[in-house]
Amino acid sequence: MIDVERLLILREVARHGSKAAAARSLTLSEPTVAHHLRALERRAGVPLTARAGRVTRLTPAGEALLQHADAIAASLEDAERCLHRHADLRVGRLRIAAFTSYCATTLPRPLAQFAATYPGVEIGLEETETDEALALLRDGRADLVIGFADSATPTPDDLPLTPLGQDEYFAILPDSHPLAGRTRLDLGALAHERWISGCARCRTHLVAHAADSGFVPHIAFVTEDYIAAQRLIAEGLGVALLTRLALDASPAIPGIVAIPTQPPTYREIFLALPREPAPAAEAFAALLRGA
C-alpha cells in the first residue's frame, strides 16, 4: 500500500517546485524529503520526479499520482474539520444509560440544558438498571452511565467515577400499620412482614440491611414499577424499602407512609465514564458535576 505521508510530500514538491522548498513547508530536512520520494518511487516502480535546472517537476507518472494525492489531501482536510466539529461539540453523539428514578427526577433538566447548549449533538437515553448500564459502557454502547451502589453492591473499580450524591432509603408501610406513626424504624420490627422488592441491586440491599437487623426478608412480590409497589402497600399486601428519588418519581399514593430507617441507609449515586470519554460525554459530565 502506498504511504499517505509520502504522497503528501510528493504533492508539496509539486506545489513548490523543489525538494528544499517542500522541506521548508513541511518543516522537514531536505534529505528527509528526498528519502521519502525515493521510497515512493521504489514502491511505484517508475520515476515520479525529474530535475529541470533548479526546479523539480513531476513525470507523467508523478502527475497521475498527484491527482490521487490531491484527493487524499482534500479528504484528510475534511476529516480534520469533522474532528474539530466534534471537539467543539458542533456535532457529535451522547448516549446515556441511567437508572429509572434518576431519569424521572434529576436527569431531564441538565439534559435539556445540554441539548440547548449543543443542538448539533445527537442525544440518546436508555433507562436501565445499573449493572446493565455498566455493561453497555464497557461494550462501547453507552458514552456515560449514571448508576447507584451501596455497601452491599459497591461501585465498580475499573472505571473513572464521580459521586453525584446520596439517596436515602425509607421503609414504606400502609398508613394503617401499627408502626405507621414511628419517626424512625428499625427493619427488625418488620421481620415478619411480606416484602415487596425491585431490581437486583435493590433486593441485594434489602437482604443485606435485613441481615444487619437479624432476619431474612420474605419477598412475596417483585416489581421494578415504583407506583405498583406503593399501590400494593396501600392495599396492605406488604412493605418495602424505597428511596427518596423513587418516591419523588411517583405521584402521591394515598394510604402509605414513608419512615426513615434506623440506622439510616443510603445508596450512592455515581457518574461513570470510559477511560477515554467522547467530548460530548466529558461536557455532560462537567455539567452534572457543576449542578
Domain's final residue, options 69, 87, 105: 87
Statement to judge: residues 124 and 184 lie in one domain? no
Statement to judge: residues 41 and 68 lie in one domain? yes
Mean of pLDDT values over 15-30: 80
Q: CATH number, domain at 108?
A: 3.40.190.10
> What is the reported pLDDT for 88?
62
Statement to judge: residues 49 and 126 lie in one domain? no
Pick from 31, 73, 272, 280: nearest CA to 164: 272
pLDDT score of 129 more than 70: yes
Report, in angstroms and rounded to the nearest whole number, the Rg of the chain calculated over CA atoms: 31
Domain's final residue, options 87, 117, 151: 87
Reduced 3-state DSSP string for the chain:
CCCHHHHHHHHHHHHHCCHHHHHHHHCCCHHHHHHHHHHHHHHHCCCCEEEECCEEEECHHHHHHHHHHHHHHHHHHHHHHHHHHHHCCCCEEEEEEECHHHHHHCCHHHHHHHHHHCCCEEEEEEECCHHHHHHHHHCCCCCEEEEEECCCCCCCCCCCEEEEEEEEEEEEEECCCCCCCCCCECHHHHCCCEEEECCHHHHHHHHHHHHHCCCCCEEEEECCCHHHHHHHHHCCCCEEEEEHHHHHCCCCCCCEEEEEECCCCEEEEEEECCCCCCHHHHHHHHHHHHC
> What is the reported pLDDT for 106?
95
Mean of pLDDT values over 144-153: 91
Split into its structural domains, the chain has a count of 3
Mean pLDDT of the chain: 88
**Least confident interval from 18-32, 134-148, 187-201:** 18-32
What is the per-residue pLDDT across 159-214, written as a single tens digit (0 to 9) for each? Answer: 889 999 999 999 999 999 999 999 999 999 999 999 999 888 889 999 999 999 99
Statement to judge: residues 210 and 229 lie in one domain? yes
Statement to judge: residues 143 and 18 lie in one domain? no
> What is the reported pLDDT for 190?
97
> What is the reported pLDDT for 76?
64
Statement to judge: residues 204 and 155 lie in one domain? no
pLDDT score of 240 more than 80: yes
Statement to judge: residues 142 and 274 lie in one domain? yes
Among residues of the chain, what percentage have pLDDT more than 70? 95
Mean of pLDDT values over 136-161: 91
* Domain interval for residue 244: 168-266
Q: Report which of residues 158 and 41 the model is more confident about.
A: 158
Statement to judge: residues 233 and 117 lie in one domain? no
Find the angle CA(193)-CA(199)-CA(202) to the nearest 5 degrees. 60
pLDDT score of 236 more than 90: yes
Q: CATH number, domain at 34?
A: 1.10.10.10
Statement to judge: residues 32 and 175 lie in one domain? no
Mean of pLDDT values over 254-280: 94
Q: CATH number, domain at 247?
A: 3.40.190.290
Statement to judge: residues 204 and 133 lie in one domain? no
pLDDT score of 242 more than 70: yes
Statement to judge: residues 147 and 216 lie in one domain? no
Statement to judge: residues 122 and 199 lie in one domain? no
Domain's final residue, options 55, 72, 87: 87
How many residues would you count in the chain?
Answer: 291
> What is the reported pLDDT for 125?
96
What is the per-residue pLDDT across 49-87, written as a single tens digit (0 to 9) for each? Answer: 888 777 888 888 777 777 877 777 677 666 655 554 556
